[in-house]
Amino acid sequence: MKNSKVSVIIPVYNVADYVAECLESIINQSYKNIEIICVEDKSTDNSPDILNQYAKKDTRIRLYYNRENRGLAYSRNIGLDAAEGDYILFVDSDDYIEADLIAVCMEKSADNDLICFDYTQFDNIHGPMKSHTYLINDGEYRGENYFAEAVKNNSIIFSAWSKLYRKAFLDKHRIRFCDGLLYEDILFSFFCFLKASKIYSLHNRFYWYRIRKDSIMMKKVSAQSLESYFFIICEMARDYVNNHYKQELCDAIQGYIRKASRDFIQAYRKSDEKAAKAQFLKNKNIKYLKLYDTFAELCVKSGLLEDISNEHLEYIKSFRYVILYGAGDIGRSVLGILDFYDIPICGIAVTTAWGNRKSLMGNRIRPIEEYEYINKEECLIIIGVTEKYYLDIRNKLNKFGFKHYLKIQDW
């Protein structure tokens, strides 16, 4: 595939402080047969001037200008329709990539529809970097098998920029971004995972994802945020019920929708402005409102546990992986508090799957032995059961090598 062209699509909006670094990282790729499509989304800073300067220096850069500010989804679609490459890579204009990203991915492209890779998140606000990894072995997978493994291991990365795409695959299945949505990557990635015949997994941290205070992800939760999340969940559910998928794929789809639903719940809780919620409700027609009421019930903080101390909160946040042991009423209460403080968990553990529900508040329930793959040094077990079961559970966790525990009774 060494002669194949790769189209790198970059939506640009008010990123004058970052776009040069982004472009430099793409221009200097070791793989040279690329085109760089920049879609300028009516910036109010000097981002267009910077783009023009780079376009004069490198003929591989093609510039497109939106007549009005249309958002990320629209701009990416403009890039997709204009792309002449055999493969597609999305890069956000405030991020940058490693010099060999495209070259290494192209070595694995062959007839794969997607090549998935890891990334590093760096934070201009709080400081420390975080590495995000697909907990899946390197290699080639059938699409549905990869999807199932990724969901099973709580290892789905929604972001569109964490993958290289075969353009013929996107065109064949008419996969595009839904214009007007926030968090549009969730739905786009959902259909990519469902439709892909083959996917290659790479454990290379090729992408540098920047968190900044003025980015979309850091803005207050608005009516549009809630509406976007809810629309995405409804669209995925509609596809799920209208198609006949194999059981393994059905389980993966349910897990993916559960994860998106939990993100919706967190977004709802972050929205402390009554006006945003009221506007969201006003915008929905009656059939969606009926379903929304079900989700809204999950957005109420449980009263079984009143709160958590700052000391314990910081302790929990210090671990890379958090597992909740217990799927009863206490476990539900713990989940409510963790969700309230935006602390994600890897899943819920129980002693045996027999007699237990399959999920709780969007989190999959599995026997503790199925979490053996997790690094024990970086994992905290929150034991959410009554006191009389505590010692037996501690002994079982010791047997499987887990070292760090937090007992609910100590909160």
Q: 192 or 133, which is more confident?
A: 192
pLDDT tens, position by position, 327-386: 887 888 888 788 777 788 888 999 887 766 777 776 778 899 888 888 999 999 999 888
Kindly state the average pLDDT of the residues 273-295: 55
Task: Give the pairing of strands 347-350 and 198-211.
Answer: unpaired
The answer on pLDDT for 407 being more than 50 is yes
Residue 196 is predicted with a pLDDT of 96
Residue 269 is predicted with a pLDDT of 64
Chain centroid offset of residue 367 CA:
25
Residue 98 is predicted with a pLDDT of 96
Residue 290 is predicted with a pLDDT of 59
CA dihedral over 327, 330, 335, 338, signed as positive or negative: negative
Which percentage of the chain shows pLDDT scores above 70? 82
Provide CB contacts within 8 A for 6, sequence distance 6+. Answer: 31, 33, 34, 35, 85, 86, 87, 88, 89, 102, 106, 164
Q: Are 165 and 113 in contact (CB under 8 A)?
A: yes
Task: Give the pairing of strands 34-40 and 61-65.
Answer: parallel
The answer on pLDDT for 17 being more than 80 is yes
Distance CA 216, CA 72 (A): 10
Beta strands in 231-376 (DSSP E): 321-325, 347-350, 359-360, 363-367
Q: Taking all residues of the chain, what is their mean pLDDT, rounded to a whole number?
A: 85
**Alpha-carbon distances of 184 from 9, 188, 291, rounded to whole Å:** 16, 6, 21
Q: 45 or 203, which is more confident?
A: 45
Distance CA 163, CA 202 (A): 10
Structure tokens given for 68: 């009005």
Lowest pLDDT segment from 190-194, 306-310, 338-342: 306-310
Structure tokens given for 316: 């929990």
Distance CA 356, CA 285 (A): 36
Distance CA 205, CA 117 (A): 7
Lowest pLDDT segment from 30-34, 58-62, 95-99, 279-283: 279-283
Residue 303 is predicted with a pLDDT of 44
Identity (one letter) of the amino acid at 58?
A: D
Q: 209 or 133, which is more confident?
A: 209
Residue 312 is predicted with a pLDDT of 86
Residue 323 is predicted with a pLDDT of 95
Distance CA 8, CA 238 (A): 32
Residue 221 is predicted with a pLDDT of 66
**Alpha-carbon distances of 213 from 125, 187, 397, rounded to whole Å:** 7, 25, 40
Residue 291 is predicted with a pLDDT of 63
Largest CA distance in the chain: 72
Distance CA 264, CA 227 (A): 10
CA dihedral over 203, 208, 212, 216, signed as positive or negative: negative
Distance CA 281, CA 223 (A): 9
DSSP letters along 4-66, please?
--EEEEEEESS-TTTHHHHHHHHHT-S---EEEEEEE---SSSHHHHHHHHHHH-TTEEEEE-
Q: Are 40 and 55 in contact (CB under 8 A)?
A: no
Residue 387 is predicted with a pLDDT of 84
DSSP at 4: -
Q: Are 387 and 297 in contact (CB under 8 A)?
A: no
Residue 301 is predicted with a pLDDT of 46
Nearest residue to 79 via CA among 162, 161, 197: 161
Q: 312 or 192, which is more confident?
A: 192
pLDDT tens, position by position, 149-166: 888 877 788 899 999 999
The answer on pLDDT for 302 being more than 50 is no
Kindly state the average pLDDT of the residues 247-261: 86
The answer on pLDDT for 2 being more than 70 is no
Identity (one letter) of the amino acid at 122?
A: F
Residue 156 is predicted with a pLDDT of 81
Give the three-class secondary structure for 163.
Answer: strand
Whole-number CA gyration radius for the chain: 22
Q: Which residue has the tokens 């990123």?
A: 15
Kindly state the average pLDDT of the residues 307-330: 86
Distance CA 307, CA 150 (A): 32
Residue 359 is predicted with a pLDDT of 75
Lowest pLDDT segment from 13-27, 105-119, 127-141: 127-141
Q: Of how many residues is the chain composed?
A: 411
Distance CA 94, CA 208 (A): 9
End-to-end CA distance of the chain: 57
Q: Are 351 and 333 in contact (CB under 8 A)?
A: no
